[in-house]
């Protein structure tokens, strides 16, 4: 008997992955958590039925959410990582000796425990002396922060369930306040292809644009995410993601990556016309 995991990307489109075995299944205070094993994508984490990461393609997401801001500001020392309970983003941040502290604010301790047990490839980022784990709602945590961080990474679930608050104007305004004068915020920003996701992307972009002087969107390709065409937001108080990037300095660091490189960094901010139009529709008139 064959077992398949399926995720509906729209009411009429789904992604299905043949499952070798289920490794974990539980419901926490916040969400249903499943971890499966497959031939094609290795182990994968599902939250409330939505694909979060697979061993096969998680490097794309975690490299692009980390190395773009780290190349724009080589002096990043203190990072606030909201969500990210699988540890993948922390793992990439820890490749920089200049990073001194990572406050990882994850609402659901069960995600951390399950990833530690079944996804060591990403969870390796959780147990470093520079990482402090706070089991708390990121929306509440950031309210207490002022001029405290050089980088905020919003590595959250989608804008419903526990993640909903992380796509609000209040949250982005508090992130602005929590960042220092040279601060950068990057966030997972949904996909532009499916209508409902594109609307969520426009809503988030509109709120970020109204909170930050510099706000751009960049793209990446994640095979197991809806449409495979994914966006991240880049917002900052002072640094432009391309004009102010230290490409040569980043290349000299010799950091091993399988997806990110400084040429791709530049290219990822060049977006398809239909995406530019979606963004322009919600940006203030020049």
Q: Which among 106-114, 145-153, 243-251, 274-282 is the span making contact with ligand SAM, rule CB under 6 A?
A: 106-114
244 close to 72: Cβ distance less than 8 angstroms: yes
Applying CB under 6 A, the span of 47-55, 178-186, 193-201, 267-275 interacting with ligand SAM comes to 47-55
Q: Tell whether residue 162 is a contact of ligand SAM (CB under 6 A).
A: yes
Q: CB of 170: closest distance to ligand SAM in angstroms?
A: 12
- Residue 11 CB, shortest distance to ligand SAM, in Å, is 23
SS3 category, 91: helix
Give CA separation, 222 vs 39, 58, 59, in Å: 18, 8, 10
For residues 118 to 147, the per-residue mask of contacts with ligand SAM, x marking binding by CB under 6 A and - elsewhere, is: -------------------xxx--------
Question: What region, left, alpha or beta, does residue 167 occupy, with left being phi > 0 and alpha being psi -120 to 50 degrees?
Answer: alpha
Q: With CB under 6 A, what is the number of residues at the site for ligand SAM? A: 27
Q: Does 90 bind ligand SAM (CB under 6 A)?
A: no
Token duo for residue 119: 């996804």
Q: How far is the CB of 258 from ligand SAM (least distance, A)?
A: 14
Q: Does 85 bind ligand SAM (CB under 6 A)?
A: yes
Quick one: which of 72, 111, 131, 200 contacts ligand SAM (CB under 6 A)? 111
* C-beta atoms surrounding 129 within 10 Å: 7
Q: Are 209 and 282 within 8 A, CB to CB?
A: yes
Closer residue to ligand SAM, CB minimum distance, 79 or 242: 79
User: Can you tell me which of 82, 104, 200, 235 binds ligand SAM, judged by CB under 6 A?
Assistant: 82
Please check whether residue 46 is in contact with residue 33, taking contact to mean a CB–CB distance below 8 angstroms.
Answer: yes
Tokens 């425990």 label which residue? 113
Shortest CA distance to 84 belongs to which of 131, 129, 142? 131
Please, which of residues 177-236 interact with ligand SAM by CB under 6 A? none
Of the residues 155, 246, 251, 281, only one is catalytic, namely: 155
Q: How far apart are CA 148 and CA 123, in angstroms?
A: 25
Cβ–Cβ < 8 Å for 191, 200 = no
Binding string, residues 53-72; x marks residues near ligand SAM by CB under 6 A = x----x--x-----------
Contact 148, 75 (CB under 8 A): no
Whole-angstrom Cα Rg for the chain: 18
Using CB under 6 A, which of the segments 159-167, 175-183, 229-237, 260-268 binds ligand SAM? Answer: 159-167
Task: State yes or no: is 34 an active-site residue.
Answer: no
Point out which residues bind ligand SAM (CB under 6 A): 47, 52-53, 58, 61, 82-86, 88-89, 105-108, 111, 137-139, 155-157, 162-163, 165-166
Query: Which are the catalytic amino acids?
Result: 155
């Amino acid at each position: 008997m064959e077992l398949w995991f399926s995720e509906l990307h729209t009411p009429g489109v789904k992604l299905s992955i043949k499952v070798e075995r289920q490794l974990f299944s539980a419901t926490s205070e916040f969400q249903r958590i499943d971890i499966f094993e497959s031939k094609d994508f290795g182990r994968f984490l599902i939250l409330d039925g939505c694909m979060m990461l697979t061993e096969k393609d998680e490097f794309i997401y975690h490299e692009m959410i980390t190395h773009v801001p780290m190349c724009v500001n080589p002096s990043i020392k203190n990072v606030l990582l909201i969500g990210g309970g699988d540890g993948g983003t922390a793992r990439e941040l820890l490749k920089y000796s200049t990073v001194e502290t990572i406050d990882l604010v994850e609402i659901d301790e069960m995600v951390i425990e399950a990833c530690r047990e079944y996804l060591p490839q990403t969870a390796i980022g959780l147990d470093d002396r520079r990482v402090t784990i706070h089991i708390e709602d990121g929306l509440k945590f950031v309210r207490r922060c002022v001029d405290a961080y050089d980088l905020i990474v919003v590595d959250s679930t989608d804008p419903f369930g526990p993640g909903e608050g992380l796509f609000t104007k209040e949250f982005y305004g508090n992130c602005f306040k929590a960042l220092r004068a040279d601060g950068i915020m990057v966030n997972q920003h949904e996909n532009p292809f499916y209508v409902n996701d594109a609307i969520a992307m426009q809503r988030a972009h509109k709120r970020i644009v109204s909170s930050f002087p510099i706000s751009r969107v960049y793209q990446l390709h994640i095979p197991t995410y809806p449409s495979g065409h994914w966006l991240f937001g880049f917002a900052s108080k002072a640094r432009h993601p391309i004009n102010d990037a230290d490409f040569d300095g980043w290349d000299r660091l010799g950091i091993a990556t399988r997806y990110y490189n400084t040429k791709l960094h530049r290219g990822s901010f060049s977006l398809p016309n239909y995406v530019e139009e979606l963004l322009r529709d919600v940006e203030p008139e020049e």
